[in-house]
Structure 1
Amino acid sequence: MAALRPGAVALAGAAAEGADVTYGELAALTEHTAATLDSMFAADRPLALAAAAKTPASIALILACLATGRPLLVISADLGEATASTLLRRAGAQALATVTGDRTVWTRLPAAAEAPAAVPGDTALILTTSGSTGVPKLVPLTAAALDAFTAWAGSCFGLDGDSRVLNHAPLNFDLCLLDVWATLRHGGRVLPVDPARAADGGYLARLVREGRPHVVQGVPLLFRLLAEAGEDTCSDDVRHVLLTGDHLARAVRRQLPRLFPRARLHNVYGCTETNDSMLHSFAPAEEAEAEVLPLGEPVPGTLIAVLDGDRDVTGPGSGELIVSTPFQTPGYLAEPAGSERFLRRDGRTWYRTGDLVERGADGRLRLVGRTDFQVKVRGVRVNVEEVERVLAGCPGVGESAVVALPDPEAGVVLHAFVRPSSDEVTGLKLRTLCAARLNRVAIPSRFHLIAGPLPVGPTGKVDRRRLQEHVT
């Protein structure tokens, strides 16, 4: 694209002073960065980037590594020092880059006492899982997987030289594979969201309205913020809205036609290990009343199966979803404890997602919850995500989350955290709603009404461990 249309905008308002960056400028910066890397670092160990601001320098650094075949670990700049050090050591990173504006500072890292795990051949990027259940795992993605994914994304969502794509996710998040890298591959314009303002609904609404993106992808946090911003219409230009990352509450989903009146909506299912696996495309009216959206059909080249133990569930029933995609990682890096997630069958590598799904009589799969979000309360198995969906359906509830905490008498009790968007929401009202729709043991023992937003992690998902600390 830099050779064909050097004056075309690659990054909209991405420079520190808010200026657009053209493909010619980005290509020149990428070439300069690649030459700098060659002069400073050996090619036999990965480099690392602490992803914070989405500056041209940070984008060019990633592009330089992709172009020269240098594996690059991209981690959240918000990770704790101990966690970040663990990930850098496990990946065998030789240096860590921190980018501020147009300035890149490199910190050389000592070689670990123990030999790091070998990085699989053809590795391009090393991403991390969210770490919601422990230290994040390292997820290497090959150049072939990135090539296959960006080709599919461009074809599926019509990305070309005239496309404008909003990028809300941080650079260390797998959503950037579409928002940034697929967009640039197909010559489109990336509209980066300032990470420091990613939770500012008014700013986001203005960016969408004035930037006029054709594609908007985001986790539920983005759409909740846009819905609460009070704008009559965000943009008539949006053609595709991608819902991903987690269950989007029905109350927010009902606002999407107002925000994006001409958009086709897509429920995207995937994870860092496999990237997008399934897609359910629908018109706004189709699923406005559905409690849980279908996962949809496998994307081209993807196989899916549902396992109940070792038995394949081929008809109506429930079990764990396993997938095999053209975009997936070959396995976790330096994490033998996670190897059980990957299994071989039918000559392919499959990934056990840990997601419980149910296949209805209509053949559609719907997400039930996570295997690691199931707890036993007084001997009865409870899925806390089901409780959260009930709370989210209560009028006047802005956000909700449920955590299980040890109790000396009951063993485990549930605590519900709710951010009301109306003064009508009370603990009694929430308890009454739960009593009408849930098994008695699934009714939270305590309802905590929170004035501000619930704490979230780097990927925008609720940080349940911080909620637990609120109680303990």
Structure 2
Amino acid sequence: MSRSLAGDVIARAQQSPDAGALVLGGAGDQVVTYAELAKTADRIGAELAARYPDTRRPLALQAAKSPAAIATVLACMHAGRPLLLASTDLGPQLLADLVGRSGCQAVLGLADGALTHRPAPGGPGAAPLLPPDTSLLLTTSGSTGTPKLVPLGGDGVDAFTSWAGSAFSLAAGVRVLNFAPLNFDLTLLDIWATLRHGGTVVPVDHDRFVDPAYLLGLLAATRPHVVQAVPMFFRLLTESNAGSDFPSVRDVLLTGDHVHRSVRAGLSGLFPAARFHNVYGCTETNDSMLHTFTAGEAADRDVLPLGSPLPGVLVEVLAGGEVLRGAGTGELLVSTPFQSSGYLGESGAEEKFTVRGDRTWYRTGDVVARSGSGELALVGRTDLQVKVRGVRINPEEVERVLQSHEGVAEAAVVAVPHPAAGNALHAFVRRSDDAVTGLQLRSYCAAKVNRAAIPAAFHLMTDPLPIGPTGKVSRRLLMEKIE
């Protein structure tokens, strides 16, 4: 139940009680020590034990990042109590659905550092059969439907945080920026691996995570050594930076989605002493592949390769139902030591998680291209593919073409039902050059993509494209802009 992780954090509190576990505030002037974090976890653990003696039934936590929220997760890990981490952006109906499907006893929250308790909506239902080693319950984004529940086993969490500590030299005195919300799987590295190895977490304030002045000030004040974030974070920095650099940063991890080349080109100026890493993974599997790249490669390549599998990870490419042995394009399958055993309470999960021999493989839904040398590059998603005039199109491929235009800062493409064509593609583009027109972009696409993949409409934007809770562009919000 991730007791090794929790036990290691508590042992740190005993060995180095005054060491900083968390650094808070825009000026980095508020330090929570390991002793204080462990004391809060002990208090919360005692409260939960008295109120919910059945540690086999999960609880849900819906709270923004804070010392008390992190201590609550730690307390549940230490007690071997499964915990559903729910996004603060979930509405009441969706939260009730997830709580009911996971059989949670109650929904925990935080107010002024104290726990709040809400009964499970509709009362506690019949508890589903959790995998016996379940530590955390995460959810998928729900971008292609209702979010799925992803149980993560304690052994997998322990294995991943052990690897991350070794891979990025996490140790006492190492400061790691935490951009992701508490319910996001990225926190397994930037919060939990950091704490397990005695480092210091620098959490980004949830209410200010899109404020570039705050982010630049936080980096300057806290001088982190490791920075992991989704593309939006790096775009905000590169577009807003006025010549500042952060030489304390030695490792920069890009994850969550494709990072535009124009953004990557600015990374070496921001982080002159850093190694750069492209990290690939899914909520269901955690990180699977890693590619370390230079500043020159960051600026020159349109798409970065996914890299090499992590230790113990196997990858395959499936094309036409057969394993692809040479160059070609197909769906990526992975098998990792860190992955979930399957979705909780979902029918048809066996289509995504398949067992062969002693390994469980996960069908990622990501389409990749493999070169003759074996290098893998992400192409798009199988579940985003649409047909336009009978031709199968991946909108993400069109997005990447648009993003390669030197006058484009951001681009996203959505498919809208059309009575004649089946679907029509709409491109939303934020320009870096106001002289760029929709006609120019149409001509640019015509030279690079199939005729059916040329967007039917170009929406030229002045503001950044809308984002969802994980920092990725929200296609749902873009669809609402189409009249």
Q: TM-score range by the shorter chain?
A: over 0.9
Report the residue type matching 1:413 in the other structure: A
Taking structure 1 as reference, are residues 436 and 81 closer, same or farther at Cα in structure 2, changes over 3 Å only?
same
Determine which of 360, 363, 368 is the counterpart of 2:379: 368
Is 1:326 the equivalent of 2:337? yes
- The structural deviation recorded for 1:237 is 0.8
Report SS of the residue matched to 2:477. Answer: helix
Report the counterpart of residue 239 of structure 2 in structure 1: 228
In terms of mean alpha carbon deviation, does 86-95 or 337-346 score higher? 337-346
Determine which of 54, 59, 82 is the counterpart of 1:71: 82
User: Normalized against structure 2, the TM-score is what?
Assistant: 0.95
- The structural deviation recorded for 1:411 is 1.4
Determine which of 416, 429, 432 is the counterpart of 1:421: 432
> Any conservation in 1 of the 2:26–2:221 contact (CA below 8 Å)?
no
Is 1:337 the equivalent of 2:337? no
Output one character per residue of 1:306-331: Cα deviation in whole Å (capped at 9) or x when no partner: 11132111111111110100000011
> Number of paired residues?
471
Report the residue type matching 2:13 in the other structure: A
Determine which of 226, 229, 234 is the counterpart of 1:218: 229
Map 1:422-437 onto structure 2 (within 5 A).
Answer: 422-437=433-448
Taking structure 1 as reference, are residues 123 and 14 closer, same or farther at Cα in structure 2, changes over 3 Å only?
farther
Taking structure 1 as reference, are residues 301 and 399 closer, same or farther at Cα in structure 2, changes over 3 Å only?
same
Distance 2:458 2:84 in 1: 40
Report the counterpart of residue 49 of structure 1 in structure 2: 61
Report the counterpart of residue 320 of structure 2 in structure 1: 309
Report SS of the residue matched to 2:412. Answer: strand
Report the counterpart of residue 245 of structure 1 in structure 2: 256
Taking structure 1 as reference, are residues 363 and 44 closer, same or farther at Cα in structure 2, changes over 3 Å only?
closer
- The structural deviation recorded for 1:436 is 2.0
Distance 1:101 1:435 in 2: 56
> Any conservation in 2 of the 1:273–1:329 contact (CA below 8 Å)?
yes
- The structural deviation recorded for 1:373 is 1.6
Report the counterpart of residue 280 of structure 1 in structure 2: 291
Report the residue type matching 1:35 in the other structure: A
- The structural deviation recorded for 1:361 is 1.3
Report the residue type matching 1:142 in the other structure: G
Report the counterpart of residue 156 of structure 1 in structure 2: 167
Report the residue type matching 2:419 in the other structure: P
Taking structure 1 as reference, are residues 267 and 338 closer, same or farther at Cα in structure 2, changes over 3 Å only?
same
- The structural deviation recorded for 1:420 is 2.3
Distance 1:209 1:250 in 2: 25
- The structural deviation recorded for 1:217 is 0.6
Coordinate RMSD, CA, aligned = 1.7
Determine which of 71, 74, 80 is the counterpart of 2:91: 80
Report the counterpart of residue 31 of structure 2 in structure 1: 20
Map 1:58-457 onto structure 2 (within 5 A).
Answer: 58-109=69-120, 115-457=126-468
Q: Which ranges of structure 1 fall in alignment gaps of 5 or more residues?
A: none
Report SS of the residue matched to 1:39. Answer: helix
In terms of mean alpha carbon deviation, does 116-125 or 14-23 score higher? 14-23
User: Normalized against structure 1, the TM-score is what?
Assistant: 0.97
Output one character per residue of 1:150-184: Cα deviation in whole Å (capped at 9) or x when no partner: 00000000100011000000000000000100000
Report the residue type matching 1:229 in the other structure: S
Taking structure 1 as reference, are residues 372 and 380 closer, same or farther at Cα in structure 2, changes over 3 Å only?
same
Report the residue type matching 1:385 in the other structure: E
Distance 1:228 1:189 in 2: 28
Taking structure 1 as reference, are residues 17 and 37 closer, same or farther at Cα in structure 2, changes over 3 Å only?
farther
Report the residue type matching 1:256 in the other structure: L
In terms of mean alpha carbon deviation, does 434-443 or 30-39 score higher? 434-443
In terms of mean alpha carbon deviation, does 80-89 or 61-70 score higher? 80-89
Distance 1:424 1:395 in 2: 12
Report the residue type matching 1:388 in the other structure: E
Taking structure 1 as reference, are residues 98 and 113 closer, same or farther at Cα in structure 2, changes over 3 Å only?
closer
Q: Which ranges of structure 2 fall in alignment gaps of 5 or more residues?
A: 1-11
Distance 1:41 1:246 in 2: 39
- The structural deviation recorded for 1:117 is 1.8
- The structural deviation recorded for 1:434 is 1.2
> Any conservation in 2 of the 1:357–1:365 contact (CA below 8 Å)?
yes
- The structural deviation recorded for 1:135 is 1.0
Is 1:34 the equivalent of 2:40? no
> Any conservation in 2 of the 1:51–1:170 contact (CA below 8 Å)?
no
> Any conservation in 1 of the 2:26–2:214 contact (CA below 8 Å)?
no
- The structural deviation recorded for 1:96 is 0.7
Distance 1:101 1:418 in 2: 42
Taking structure 1 as reference, are residues 314 and 287 closer, same or farther at Cα in structure 2, changes over 3 Å only?
farther
- The structural deviation recorded for 1:110 is 5.2
> Any conservation in 1 of the 2:100–2:124 contact (CA below 8 Å)?
no
Report SS of the residue matched to 1:470. Answer: coil
Distance 2:454 2:29 in 1: 50
Taking structure 1 as reference, are residues 19 and 207 closer, same or farther at Cα in structure 2, changes over 3 Å only?
same
Identity %: 56
> Any conservation in 1 of the 2:318–2:333 contact (CA below 8 Å)?
yes
- The structural deviation recorded for 1:380 is 1.2
Output one character per residue of 1:197-248: Cα deviation in whole Å (capped at 9) or x when no partner: 1011111111112211111111111110111112323310111111110000
Report the residue type matching 2:172 in the other structure: G
In terms of mean alpha carbon deviation, does 9-18 or 238-247 score higher? 9-18
Distance 2:346 2:469 in 1: 21
Distance 1:196 1:380 in 2: 43
Runs of 4+ that moved beyond 3 A: 14-18, 110-114
Distance 2:455 2:283 in 1: 31
